[in-house]
Amino acid sequence: MHQQTSETFDRNAREALADVQLRGALRNLATTFGGRRKEAIATVEDWEGLRDRARAAKDETLAHLDKYLEQFVGNAEKAGAQIHWARDGAEACRIVLDLIRARGASRLVKSKSMATEEIHLNAALEAEGLAPVETDLGEWIIQLAHETPSHIVVPAIHKSKRQIAELFAEKVGIEPTDDVAVLTGAARRILRRSFAEAEVGISGVNFGVAETGTILILENEGNARLTTSLPRTHIAVMGIEKVIPKFTDLDVFLKLLPRSGTGQRLTAYQSLITGTKRRPEDEGPEELHLVLMDNGRSRMLSHPVTRQSLACIRCGACLNACPVYQQVGGHAYGSVYPGPIGAVITPQLSGLKQSAQLPYASSLCGACREVCPVKIDIPELLLHLRAEVTEGTAAGTAAQHGPVKSRPLERLAFGLYARAWSSPTLYLWGARVARLLQGAVVRKGRIGKVGGLLAKLAPPLAAWTEWRDAPPLAPRTFREQWREEQKR
Amino acid sequence: MRVSLFITCLIDQLWPSVGSSAVEVLRRAGCEVVFDERQTCCGQPAFNTGYRAEARRLARRFIEIFEEGGADYVVSPSGSCTAMAHHFHELFADDEAWRRRAEALAARTYEFGGFLVNVLKVEDVGASFKGRVTWHDACHGLRDLGLREEPRRLIRGVRGAEFVELANADSCCGFGGTFSVKYPEISVAILDNKIDAIEKAGVRAVVSGDASCLMQIGGRLTRNNSSVKTMHLAELLASRE
């Protein structure tokens, strides 16, 4: 398999579609997660109202992000946390690395975090000989297999039980079994040891409450609780958009996130962490370091359309609902953020030059917008980015990392279309000419697979007819029929 | 009531019978139907592919044409193209005058089925059809315009037609405009889920409100030599058998 990047989305997708194992793993995604989500949201009285409140809280935060960040930082520091600002991923990685080195630590545990995936923190630490142990079961599996997550919430969704059993047999040295209890038991045994030895715990953050300086981490396995409480030092990496104004806002988000993500009313664990431990006899880490990371977020903030990307709470509901993701899975996107939200965020993080395909990797069906708990208009964002791709203008996204590859033929085609379709005469004569020409390809009232020269001259027609018949142009257009009717 | 018909390019060129069916049903429902022959396309292909200048050009034309003629409403047998007319204002974010014109036009522009049920308050248009039919929710009619029950009520009003709900009726057929030829393999993989559901429904016809979805679904059905046929809602409602 080739190196999967967002630049090669088309190739990645074709490979994914041919991967029988992957398609089996993805088959039940929509029904299981989509179905559980539906059941879970039915337990809330006013789901729509809740979504509106969540979005309003996010909009308020993003409109005054500087103020809320300042408040958050002030209160977190008061509670004993140390704050580090990172402009980009490289800086965030360096900060974490320096903190670990300064403590002479080498045994590290880590809980699941998209922010650290985004900046490839593990790779940066491994390059310095400091590999943290991933303690979320899914992430641990991925780490053992030397792969990347393929889903925001369920990182190993692409793997079958059998593959995991084989992986455990090879890496952990247990007898191959499909007994889930035995597999998780083995993982627990090994991870417990890592927890007990760990000197530094690394986590992400789901929400940072400005009013109290508290961070909230949601999870189901208890591993994040252990990661953030057992080691002497806790380092939490968070995007600057994770701040929310009030503690009571959590009421809204705690109802929305677990229901949207896994279809749970609430995750098994919610860790609320405010600073470090106060007295020697208290439990918890002695040091808490919060790494507040920008990494492209200020740029997203600067435009009213792209700003809504920052409202995302990383629930993954749009992935589960997306017909494209359901077919190709997460790796095809070549980014830690796959699916509809990934198609929107990735180009804004890594530049449209590398990710120009992603905004087009959608049928614009709107299923993502329908399930998004914070009402992000993902189709609107996709269209915004598509316009940036063709215009090469943009509020920074397109220009960043170099210009987008131009598409002269497509541009020409749309230019001609806009011109011809602006003239009823050209439009009509175009139809008449096409009607004359189509005789060469219409068989039994339809256009079957076209090949040869025509396929080369008209790639869209070839792409269409490879798997689908195309309808022939009607002998008379509606307008011709109408005109005749008016004459009578 | 005077209704100005917007016939989409696909319908004009490929299925003019959908247009004449829409005319017949609207007349039956008591409307005076006018059709401005200068109309061509709403510009959606350009808009959805990122060519805003081209889309803007066609949108201005569309607005100018449909502002004239003194019709009370603009009606189109397409959820997708109607939704495009509702999106026009986004093309004029920096142009107050055009934005107002776009918004004013959008406010009286309706999708065919939604217009019958919500404006004319008609659910029985006197149609009859023999056999079992099912409905595919075209995404833009459903999610951009919020039309879920309207087409179902109209189909239930057709004498002789037995309506069955399609499994995952509201999931995409995989068309997506240029998506269908930019990523044909993905488009068809999505489509095949839809085809499976249609075949399992055991129907004579699958009905939808958008010619584009019907082109996608129908193209695969005929390629598979299926006996199920595709029908536009307007055709079903004009049917008398």
Whether A36 maps to a domain, the answer reads no
As for how many domains chain B has, the answer is 2
Closest CA to A155 of A202, A110, A185: A110
- B183 chain-A contacts, CB cut-off 8 A: 10, 13, 324, 360-361
Q: Are residues A385 and A440 in the same domain?
A: no
* Residue B17, burial from CB neighbour count under 10 angstroms (0-12, 13-18, 19+): middle
Q: Give the number of A-B residue pairs with CB atoms closer than 8 Å.
A: 183
- Domain at B225, CATH number: 3.40.50
CB contact residues (below 8 A), chain A span 370-389, against chain B: 370, 380, 383, 385-389
Q: How far is A478 from chain B (nearest CA, A)?
A: 4
- The Cα–Cα gap between B115 and B119 comes to 5
Whether A95 maps to a domain, the answer reads yes
Domain carrying residue B214: 124-238
Looking at A298, A325, A349, the residue that finishes a domain is A298
The token pair at A268 is: 């098994």
A395 pLDDT more than 50: no
Q: Are residues A68 and A174 in the same domain?
A: yes
CB contact residues (below 8 A), chain A span 265-324, against chain B: 323-324
Q: How far is B202 from chain A (nearest CA, A)?
A: 21
Mutant choice from B8, B9, B12, B14 vs A, greatest count of A C-beta within 10 A? B12
Residue recorded with tokens 């269209």 = A383
Q: Are residues A195 and A266 in the same domain?
A: yes
Q: Are residues B114 and B129 in the same domain?
A: no
- Domain at A342, CATH number: 1.10.1060
User: Quick check: A324 and B181 CB within 8 A?
Assistant: no
Closest chain B residue to A464, measured at CA: B181
Q: Are residues B142 and B211 in the same domain?
A: yes
Domain carrying residue A292: 44-298
A189 pLDDT more than 50: yes
Percentage of the residues of chain B whose pLDDT score is greater than 90: 99
Q: Are residues A286 and A322 in the same domain?
A: no
Looking at B87, B118, B149, the residue that finishes a domain is B118
Q: How distant, in Å, are the alpha carbons of A450, B18, B39, B77, B141 from that of B25?
A: 37, 11, 21, 11, 19
Closest chain B residue to A363, measured at CA: B176
Q: Select the residue of A328, A459, A473 nearest B14 (Cβ to Cβ).
A: A473
Q: In one letter, which amino acid is B230? A: T
ipTM of the complex: 0.96
Q: Are residues A208 and A81 in the same domain?
A: yes
Q: Are residues A143 and A194 in the same domain?
A: yes
Run of H or E including B215: helix B211-223
A419 pLDDT more than 80: yes
pLDDT in tens, B160-185: 999 999 999 999 999 999 999 999 99
| CA gyration radius, chain A | 26
Closest CA to A366 of B83, B165, B210: B83
Q: Are residues B102 and B175 in the same domain?
A: no
Whether A304 maps to a domain, the answer reads no
Q: Are residues B9 and B111 in the same domain?
A: yes
Q: Are residues B6 and B108 in the same domain?
A: yes
pLDDT in tens, A271-313: 999 999 988 888 889 999 999 999 999 999 999 999 999 999 9
Listed in sequence order, the residues at least 6 apart from A136 whose beta carbon sits closer than 8 Å to its beta carbon are: A111, A112, A155, A219, A221, A223, A224
Say which range, A174-178, A222-226, A383-387, has the weakest mean pLDDT: A174-178
- The Cα–Cα gap between B54 and A284 comes to 60
Beta-bridged to residue B229, according to DSSP, are B205
pLDDT in tens, B179-206: 999 999 999 999 999 999 999 999 999 9
As for how many domains chain A has, the answer is 3
A393 pLDDT more than 90: no
Q: How distant, in Å, are the alpha carbons of A42, A184, A481, B14 from that of A431?
A: 51, 64, 14, 10
Q: Are residues A372 and A275 in the same domain?
A: no
User: Quick check: A367 and B54 CB within 8 A?
Assistant: no
User: Quick check: A421 and B9 CB within 8 A?
Assistant: yes
Looking at B118, B143, B174, the residue that finishes a domain is B118
Q: What local confidence, expressed as pLDDT, does residue A82 receive? A: 98
Report the SS3 class of residue B193: helix
Whether A210 maps to a domain, the answer reads yes
Q: Are residues A222 and A123 in the same domain?
A: yes
User: Quick check: B45 and A417 CB within 8 A?
Assistant: yes
Beta strands A200-203 and B159-164: pairing type? unpaired
